[in-house]
Amino acid sequence: MSFFQPQATKAAQKQSAIDPQHQPWVEKYRPKTIDDVSAQEHTVAVLRKTLTSSNLPHMLFYGPPGTGKTSTILALARQLFGPDNFRSRVLELNASDERGISIVREKIKNFARQTPRAQAVASDGKTYPCPPYKIIILDEADSMTQDAQAALRRIMELYARITRFCLVCNYVTRIIEPLASRCSKFRFKPLDPSATSARLAQIAAAENVPLSPGTAAALVATSHGDLRRAITYLQSAARLATSVAPPAPITPRDVQEIAGVVPDDVVVGFAGALGIEPLGTGGGDGMDVDVDAGGKATGFDGVRKKAKAIIREGYSASQIIAQLHDYVVAHPTLTARQKARCAMVFAEADKALCDGADEELWILEVGLRAHKAIASDS
Amino acid sequence: MKAARAGPSAPGSKQIPIAQDPNCLAGLSFVFTGELSSLSRDEAVELAKRYGGRVTGQPSSKTSYVVLGADAGPSKLKAIAKNNLKTLDEDGFLALIATRKEEEAIRQSAREMEAREKAASKAAAATAPGGAGGAGAAARTASENLLWTARYAPQSLKEICGNKGQVEKLQAWLGSWAANVRSEFKKPGKDGMNVFRAVMITGPPGIGKTTSAHLCAKLAGFTPVELNASDARSKKLVENSTNIMNTSLDGWMSGGQKTNAAGVTITDKSCLIMDEVDGMSAGDRGGVGALVALIKRTKIPIICIANDRGAQKLKPLVSATYNLTFRRPEVNMVRSRIMSILFKEGMKIPANVVDQLVQGAQADIRQVLNMLSTWRLANNTMDFDEGKNLVKMNEKYTVMTPFGVINKILGPGMFLPTTRETLGDKMEMYFHDPSFVPLFMQENYLKTQPSRIRNLDGPEKTLKHLELMDKAATSISDGDIVDSLIHGPNQYWSLMPLHAVCSTVRPASFLYGMGAGYGGPNAMSFPQWLGQNSKQSKLSRQLTDVQARMRLKVSGDKSEIRQSYIPSLFPHIVQPLMEQGASAVDETIEFMDEYFLTREDWDTIVELGVGDHNDAGVLKKISTATKTSFTRKYNSRDHPVAFHKAEALGKAPKKLAAAGPVPDLEEAFDVDDEVPEAEEDEKQETDDDPERDSLIKAPKKGKAAAGKGKAPAKAKKS
Amino acid sequence: MSLWVDKHRPRSLDQLHYHHALSARLKALAASGDFPHMLFYGPSGAGKKTRIAGTLLELFGKGVEKLKIDQRVFLTPTKRKLDVNIVQSNFHIEITPSEVGNYDRVVIQEILKEIAQTQQVDLSAKQKFKLVVIHEADSLTRDAQAALRRTMEKYMTNMRLILCANSTSKLIAPIRSRCLLMRVAAPSEEEMRAVLDYVGKREGFAIPDDTARLIAQDANGNVRKALLVLEALKMQNTDLSSSALSIAKPDWETYCHKVADMIIQEQSPARVMEVRAKLYELLSHCIPPSVVIKTIAEKVVDQVDDALKADIMHWAAIYEARMRVGNKKIFHLEAWVVKVMSLYKHFFLGFDMDAGFDDF
C-alpha cells in the first residue's frame, strides 16, 4: 500500500485546499494574531509585551473549553516566528496523539534539545521577532498521566534556554504541582455574552448568514461561554437553513435542536409534575389553587407518566437534568432547603448517568425524589 | 493408681530448683510411678521434658531412673527389681535437676554420631564412582559455604530417612534395567515393575525424593541427568533436548556420545530424572505428552518426580509409569539424622526439641534443616520454648478450600463477642482464595440460621432476619463494585483488603450462625455464578451470530432481537413444528431463509427461550421424526447466505503487493499523470456491478481503488 | 413471508408516516452536497435506522440497497483476534463496534482509517465521500470516542459519519458538537395509529379503535414492538374486534412478572434463593439486567401500596446504576430483591424501616 498512499494523501490535501467551504468555521476563523482573541484582555496584554521583549516564560493556560487557549498560543507562536519558521520551531501535541511517558522521553525530549536553526528569511516580506527558542505546546495537558508529567519536570529545566513550554488544560488541579510551579499561569475566563455575540455576528457577516438577535441570544445561551461550541452550532444551523430550497432564516428553535437542548416547555412541564409552580405566572394568591390542583394529580403515577413521555421524546436525560437544575436553582419561590435537596438528587443522578445507568429509571428517580423534597416542606 | 488421681498431698511445698544446665536431663529416660508430694504427675512430666528428659509409661531396661512416689504401682516395682533400675524419690529428682550437668551419656552418643558421620563420608566417597567421586571430594572441601540442605544431603542409601521399601524397589528396578531392555520389558518381575520404562515418584516436598532418585541411579551405575522446572520443557524441547532416541545420526558420528540441548552428555548409561513434572505448566505446552511419548520408546531409565499424583495434567503419565509413593518419614527416623548434623555443627539442641521441630515441619527434612541453619546464625542452643516458637513461626501455611472457609466464617463461632479471631484473621479467610471465597459467600450467605436473631421470634424475627439479609446483600453488592475497581483498567490491587471486608467479612458478620457443618439444614453449595456466567457468554455469542445473519432484514440491535424478534419468530418457526409436526417443515424453512437463519440459529432461538418457551420443554413437544425431517430437509436444500467469510486484516497489504501487472503499467506511464487515469476509468466500467465491488473488501482491488481515488481528485483539480 | 414489521418497512423518506419536518430536512441536506456528520438519537423503535436508510437512499440511489455482510478479523494489540460483522453496500458500511466490547477503539481506528484512505470507488456515485454508519454509538468506550473525535476532523474530506444512539448522554461533548444532532422522537399515539392502519390496510383488514389503542399503549412508542404485537394478535385471533383480546407478552416478560409475583407472595431466605435461580435463568438467556430490574420493578410497583412505590423505584434506580459499575450483575439484582422484600414486609407488618430515601 505504501507506494500509492502518499499520492492518495497528496490528492486529499489538494482537495481540502481547494474546498474551503467544508472547512469548519472554527478553524477558518481562528484568530490570526493575539489581538484578534476575544475577551481575554488581561492575558493578551501580558503576551503582547513578550512580542517586543522576546522574553517568554513557560506558560500554563487554563480555563473552560472554547475560551481561546489554544488559539492564543497558536496566534502568539505565529506572530513570533512567522509562517516559515513556524514548522521548525513549534511542536504541538494534543490528547489524541500518543502521549505516554515514552513519547515524553523520546519525541518531546528530542525536540526540546535541538538548538533552533537560524531564522529563515520571511517569504512574505514581514519581519518577525523570531526569538532564539522553540515552543512546545501540550494541548489538553491535564489528560497526561502523572508519570508523563513527572518526566517533563527535568526537561523543562534542562532545555529552558532553547525551549519554552506551553501547557494548555481545562483543570489546573490535574497538573502536578512541580510542573505548575515552573510556569506562569494564565486563567482564561468564560466569554461573556457580548463578546460571544460580537464574534458570532462578525462570522455571520463574513459567511453571509442572516443572524437575528434572538438566534444570537439562543446561541449564546446554549454555548455557555464556549465560543467554539457557539461557532459550531452556528455553522450547523447555517447548513440546515441553506439546504432548504429558499434558504430559511435560522430560528432560535433550530439552534436549540442542534445543541440538543430540551425545549423549555418540556422542562417546565416536568417541573410542574414535580409540584414546582411555573415561572412567570406571578406566584400570586390567585395561582395557588391551580398549582395545588396540579400537585394533587401528580403522585407517583403522574411523575412516572411524565418521565416516560420524556423518554419517548428521545431527550437526553443528562440534558434534562442539567436544565431542570438551572430551572430549580433559579426558581424564585422554592426555599433554599428544597433547592438543596433537589441539587443533591441532581448530583447523584448525574453521577449515575455518567456511569451509564438507565435513563428512564433515573429520570423517574429524579422526579420522585425532587417531588418528595418539594412536597416535604414548602 | 487411685492415689495418683488424688493429687499431690502438699502442692507447691517444695521449691523447684533452677537447673544449671537447661539440658541437664538430656539422654535420660524417666518413669514416674506413685504420687509425689509436691508435684502433680503432669507437672513432673513437664519438668522432665523441659530439661531434656524422656518420659515413658512403663519401666524397661532402657529406663535411666524411676521416680518413686507414695503408693507406687506393684507391677512397676517388680519391673524395677527385674531390670535393676536406679530409683529416685521426689527430692532426688529435684536434686538431679539442680545439680546434674550434661552427662557423660550424651557425650557418648554424640561421639557415636561423629563416628557414624565419618563412616558415612567415607562410604559416600567410596560409592560415588569416577568423576562424581572427585566432584564429591571437591564439594566436601567447600562444604562450609554450602547450604545445609546441600551439605548434608544424604550420600548413601543408609542416610535416607524413611521410605526404605520404595528406595529398595527403585534400586532393584534400576539394577535389572539392562536385563529388562534385553527382554523388551516383557517380564513383569517380582513387583511387576519391570514392564515399565519409567518410574514416577510422588510425595510431599522435602522428604528426599530427588535425593533418593539421584542416589539410586548412581549406585546402579547410571549417570543421572536432571531436567527440572528451571529448564524449559515444552514438547519440542523435550523431544529434542533429551535426544536419547538415536533418531539422528550425529550420535553415531561423534562416537556414540552426544550432547543434548541442555548441555548434558547422554550415554546409554544415563538415567533421566525429570524433576517437578507437575511444574510443567503453561509455558511447557505439550511437554507431558512428549514425555509420555518419550517414555514409550526410551532406552534409558526415566524417573519422574512430582508432588501430587492426582494432578490433572499428570494423568497421561500415571498410566505410563510405575508409581512409587513416598511417605513422610517417622519422626524418630528423622531425629537421629538431625541430631548428628547438629552435633557436627556444634549446636546443642535436645532431642525433644528436635522432635518438636520435625513434627512442626511435618517431617519435611529440608525445612527443618533450613530452620536450624538460620537459627545457627544467632544461637548455638535451643530450648523447649524457643523450639515451640520457631515451629510456630515456620508453621506450614495450609490453604483452606473455599468450602472450608465458608463453613468456618459463616459458622456460629466467628463473630461471637468472645471470639479470639481478630478482624485481620477474618480477612485472612478471604485471602485463602480471593477469587472464589466471595462467590461462595454470595451463593451461601442465605443458608444460615443467624445467631443474631436466635432470641427473637414471631414477626420480629422475620423482620430482623430480612434486615440482616438486606445489609449483607448490600455489602456484597458493594464488594462487587470494589472488585470491578480491582480488576478494572486501573487495577487497584491495594483495595483487596476492602474487598475482603465488603465481600466476605461483613456479610458473614450479619448472618453467621448455624449452617451446614454445624447442623444447619442447608448444605453449602458451589457457586452457580460460574456456570451461569459461561452459559450466558455462550448464548450471547450465539445471539450475536443470529443478529449478524438477520441484520440485512432487521434493524434491531442484539437486545431488540432477543426481546422482540425471538418471541415473535417463535410462533412462525418453532410453534408450527410443535403443533403440526413434520408437515410444517417446509413452511418453517422458507421463513428461516427469509431471515438468513440456519439450522444452528434455530437451535439458538429455541435455547434462548425462558419460562413457557424453555428449550427443554419445547424440544420435548417436537417429535423426533419431525426433528429429523427438519434437519434432513434443511440440509438437502440451498439457502441464501448473506455472509462473507472472515478475512484477516493484516494480510491485506501483502495481497496487494502481489496484485499483479498493474504496477508495471502504471510505472511505465508514470511520466504523464493523466494516462493512468484513462486506464483506470476503463477498468472502472467493469467494476460497476455493485455486487462485485465493495468499499473495504477491496484488498485485491485496493490498488485500483486508490488509483481511482486519485482520479476524481485530479479531475476536480484540473 | 417476512414479518410485517420488515415487510412494510418504509424504504424512502417519502414513505415515512410521521416526523415529516425531519424527513424534509434530511432530504434537503442530502441534496445540498454539503452533508455533515450526523447523530441520530431517540428511543428504541422510533425509526432511527429506517430514517438513516432513507437518507442513504437519497444520497446514493438504489445502490445502497444491495447489502451484504462481511466478517472481518481484527488483531488487538495483545494479538487477540476479533470477529466483526460489517454490513456494506458499494457506498457505505455499517458497523457495530460495541460488539467487541473493550476493543472497540481498535475496530473504529482500523476501519475508519482504511475507508478514509481509499476514496469513493464508483465514479458514477452521486457523492464523492463514503458513509460510515456506526450503530449503538452510545455504548462506545471513552477511548473509542476519543479516537472517533480525531478521525472526524482528519478525514472530513472523503468520509462522513452517521452515528446512531439511543441517547446522547453517554457521548462525549466534542463528538456531539461535531455532529448535526437529529432527534427521532417516538411517535405519538395518533401517529402510531396511522402506522398500524397503514399496515392493516396493506394486509387487508381493518383494525378496530380499541384494539389499536391497546396496541399503541402497550408498545409505548416502539413501532417495531407495536407491529410485532399486531401480527401476533392477528395470528391468534382472526377477529380483532372481540373485547376479550389480550396482548400476549413475550416469554421473558411473563417470566419477569412471575418473579415479581414471587417477591410479593413471600419474603424469606428460601424465596430469595428461588428468585435468584429465576434471575440467573433470565440473565443467562441474554435478557439485559437493566431490562430485568425495570420490568420486575414496574410489576412490583403495580401491586404494592402507594407509600412503597417511590421507595421501590428509588432502590431499583440505585441498584441499576451499581450494576453498570460492577461486574457481577446478579449480586446487585439480588441485593435489590432482598431490599424490596424487607421493605415490603416491614410495611406489611406495620413497622417503619429506616431505609427510605434522603431524610436529612
Closest to B706 (Cβ–Cβ): which among A4, A14, A18?
A: A4
Top pLDDT among A81 and A17 is at A81
Examine the domain organization and report whether B417 and B521 are in the same domain: yes
Closest CA to B714 of B672, B654, B686, B652: B672
Whole-prediction pTM value?
0.69
Contacts of B714 in chain A (CB under 8 A): 11
Chains A, B: CB contacts under 8 A, how many? 28
Of B325, B345, B366, the residue at which a domain comes to its end is B325
∠A283-A284-A285 over CA atoms, to 5°? 125
CATH, residue A229 = 1.10.8.60
Closest to B646 (Cβ–Cβ): which among C71, C119, C341?
A: C71
Contacts of C287 in chain B (CB under 8 A): 562-563, 610
Instruction: Return all residues near A77 (Cβ < 8 A) that are at least 6 apart.
Output: A86, A89, A90, A135, A137
Examine the domain organization and report whether A181 and A211 are in the same domain: no
Write out the residue range of the structural domain in which residue C221 sits: 189-244
Asked whether the beta carbons of residue B557 and residue C96 sit closer than 8 angstroms, the reply is yes
- Determine the distance in angstroms separating the CA of A1 from the nearest CA of chain B, rounded to an integer: 6
Q: Per-residue confidence at A280, pLDDT binned at 50, 70, 90?
A: low
Total number of domains in chain B = 4
Please report whether residue C174 resides in a domain: yes
Q: Is C192 helix (H, G, I), strand (E, B) or coil?
A: helix
Please report whether residue B144 resides in a domain: no
- DSSP type of residue B330: P
Examine the domain organization and report whether B545 and B523 are in the same domain: no
Neighbours of chain A (3+ CB pairs under 8 A): B, C
| Burial class of B669 by CB neighbour count within 10 A (0 to 12, 13 to 18, 19+) | middle
Examine the domain organization and report whether A210 and A183 are in the same domain: no
Closest to B710 (Cβ–Cβ): which among A1, A7, A18?
A: A7
Closest CA to B461 of B449, B471, B473, B472: B449
Q: Which of B 645-674 lie inside 8 A of A, CB atoms?
A: 652-653, 656, 663
> What is the per-residue pLDDT for C279?
93
**What nine digits make up the cell of B84?**
535393676
Please report whether residue C3 resides in a domain: no
Examine the domain organization and report whether B289 and B176 are in the same domain: yes
CATH, residue C85 = 3.40.50.300
Provide the residue count of chain B.
Answer: 718
CA-based R_g, chain B, Å:
39
Prediction ipTM score: 0.86
- Determine the distance in angstroms separating the CA of A20 from the nearest CA of chain B, rounded to an integer: 14
The answer to whether B76 contacts chain A (CB < 8 Å) is no
Could you give the CA distance from residue C78 to residue B515 in angstroms, rounded to a whole number? 46
Neighbours of chain B (3+ CB pairs under 8 A): A, C
**What nine digits make up the cell of B320?**
505410563
Residue in chain A closest to B657 (alpha carbons) equals A1
Residue in chain B closest to C143 (alpha carbons) equals B489
Examine the domain organization and report whether A101 and A40 are in the same domain: yes
- DSSP type of residue C66: -
Query: Which of B667, B670, B710, B718 is the best substitution to test chain A (most A C-beta atoms within 10 A)?
Result: B710
Asked whether the beta carbons of residue C168 and residue A365 sit closer than 8 angstroms, the reply is no
Residue in chain C closest to B444 (alpha carbons) equals C273
Digit-coded pLDDT (tens) for A140-181: 787 777 777 888 888 888 888 888 889 888 888 888 888 888
Taking every pair of Cα atoms in chain A, the longest distance, rounded to a whole number of angstroms, is 81
Please report whether residue B123 resides in a domain: no
Asked whether the beta carbons of residue B709 and residue C120 sit closer than 8 angstroms, the reply is yes
Please report whether residue C10 resides in a domain: no
Examine the domain organization and report whether B272 and B167 are in the same domain: yes
Write out the residue range of the structural domain in which residue A238 sits: 193-259
CATH, residue A170 = 3.40.50.300
CATH, residue B219 = 3.40.50.300
Could you give the CA distance from residue C121 to residue C230 in angstroms, rounded to a whole number? 43
Total number of domains in chain C = 3
- Alpha-carbon torsion (B201, B206, B208, B211), positive or negative: positive
Query: Which of A4, A13, A351 is the best substitution to test chain B (most B C-beta atoms within 10 A)?
Result: A4
Contacts of A232 in chain C (CB under 8 A): 177-178
Asked whether the beta carbons of residue C177 and residue A353 sit closer than 8 angstroms, the reply is no
- Determine the distance in angstroms separating the CA of A356 from the nearest CA of chain B, rounded to an integer: 14
Please report whether residue A8 resides in a domain: no
Pairing of strands B265-266, B258-259: antiparallel
Asked whether the beta carbons of residue C46 and residue A5 sit closer than 8 angstroms, the reply is no
Chains A, C: CB contacts under 8 A, how many? 153
- Which regions of chain B are under pLDDT 70? 1-24, 26-27, 98-145, 190-191, 228-268, 279-287, 310-312, 394-399, 515-522, 642-718
Three-class secondary structure assignment of B354-414: HHHHHHHCCCCHHHHHHHHHHHHHHCCECCHHHHHHHHHHCCCCCCCCHHHHHHHHCCCCC
Q: Which of C 214-253 lie inside 8 A of A, CB atoms?
A: 220-221
Examine the domain organization and report whether A110 and A180 are in the same domain: yes
Long-range Cβ contacts of B188-197 (<8 Å, 24+ apart): B193/B169, B193/B322, B196/B320, B196/B321, B196/B322, B197/B295, B197/B296, B197/B298, B197/B301, B197/B302
Asked whether the beta carbons of residue C34 and residue A312 sit closer than 8 angstroms, the reply is no
Instruction: Return all residues near C210 (Cβ < 8 A) that are at least 6 apart.
Output: C241, C243
Could you give the CA distance from residue B57 to residue B49 in angstroms, rounded to a whole number? 13
Examine the domain organization and report whether C176 and C201 are in the same domain: no
Contacts of B466 in chain C (CB under 8 A): 267, 338, 341-342, 345-346
Total number of domains in chain A = 3
CB-CB contact of C184 with C48 (8 Å)? yes
- Determine the distance in angstroms separating the CA of C98 from the nearest CA of chain A, rounded to an integer: 14
Asked whether the beta carbons of residue C251 and residue B548 sit closer than 8 angstroms, the reply is no
Asked whether the beta carbons of residue A314 and residue C185 sit closer than 8 angstroms, the reply is yes
Asked whether the beta carbons of residue A4 and residue B717 sit closer than 8 angstroms, the reply is no
Query: Which of C170, C301, C312 is the best substitution to test chain A (most A C-beta atoms within 10 A)?
Result: C170
Of A187, A217, A236, the residue at which a domain comes to its end is A187
Q: Which of A 4-63 lie inside 8 A of B, CB atoms?
A: 4-5, 7-8, 11-12, 14-15, 18
Q: Which of C 173-202 lie inside 8 A of A, CB atoms?
A: 173, 176-178, 180-181, 183-186
Examine the domain organization and report whether C177 and C193 are in the same domain: no
> What is the per-residue pLDDT for B646?
45
Q: Which of A 248-287 lie inside 8 A of C, CB atoms?
A: 257-260
Identify the H or E element spanning B449: strand B449-450
CATH, residue C199 = 1.10.8
**What nine digits make up the cell of C285?**
438467556
Examine the domain organization and report whether B486 and B562 are in the same domain: no
- Determine the distance in angstroms separating the CA of A282 from the nearest CA of chain B, rounded to an integer: 47
Query: Which of C29, C59, C141, C177 is the best substitution to test chain A (most A C-beta atoms within 10 A)?
Result: C177
> What is the per-residue pLDDT for C329?
92
Contacts of C117 in chain A (CB under 8 A): 5, 8-9
Please report whether residue B714 resides in a domain: no
When pLDDT is averaged across residues A193-222 and rounded to a whole number, the result is 86
Asked whether the beta carbons of residue A3 and residue B663 sit closer than 8 angstroms, the reply is yes
Examine the domain organization and report whether B169 and B189 are in the same domain: yes
> What is the per-residue pLDDT for B125?
54
Examine the domain organization and report whether A323 and A223 are in the same domain: no
Write out the residue range of the structural domain in which residue B556 sits: 531-636
> What is the per-residue pLDDT for B50?
73
Could you give the CA distance from residue B66 to residue B89 in angstroms, rounded to a whole number? 8
| Chain mean position to CA C259 | 24
One-letter identity of residue B398: T
Examine the domain organization and report whether B506 and B549 are in the same domain: no
Examine the domain organization and report whether C88 and C168 are in the same domain: yes
Residue in chain B closest to C64 (alpha carbons) equals B690
Examine the domain organization and report whether B507 and B443 are in the same domain: yes
Contacts of B717 in chain A (CB under 8 A): 14-15, 18
Examine the domain organization and report whether B235 and B310 are in the same domain: yes
Residue in chain B closest to C267 (alpha carbons) equals B466
Closest CA to C45 of B27, A355, B563: B563
Top pLDDT among A147 and A201 is at A201
- Which regions of chain C are under pLDDT 50? 355-360
